[in-house]
Amino acid sequence: MAANAFVRARIDEDLKNQAADVLAGMGLTISDLVRITLTKVAREKAL
């Protein structure tokens, strides 16, 4: 599946940075998390 859509969101900068640090410790980026979450929602039809 080609990744060619953009998603934008307004997020508190401190929250974004904290989350990015946690995700980096797991070897993930915020973009990775968005892809994982949207894939799960699409497959399971639930959050």
| pLDDT range class, residue 3, cuts 50, 70, 90 | confident
Q: Is residue 37 in a domain?
A: yes
Q: Which domain holds residue 25?
A: 13-44
Determine, yes or no, domain membership for 26: yes
Question: Does 1 reside within a domain?
Answer: no
Residue 20: inside a domain, yes or no?
Answer: yes
Model confidence at 5: pLDDT above 80: yes
pLDDT at 23 over 90: yes
CB count in 10 Å sphere of residue 45 = 6
- Does residue 36 lie within any of the structural domains? yes
Spatial distance between the Cα atoms of 2 and 44, rounded to a whole number of angstroms? 21
The three-state secondary structure class of 36 is helix
> Positive or negative, the Cα torsion across 19, 25, 30, 32?
negative
Count of domains observed in the chain: 1
For residues 39 and 46, give the distance between their C-alpha atoms in angstroms, rounded to a whole number.
Answer: 11
In a domain, 7, yes or no: no
Domain membership of residue 6 (yes or no) is no
pLDDT > 90? residue 46: yes
- For the cut 80, the answer to whether the pLDDT of residue 2 exceeds it is no
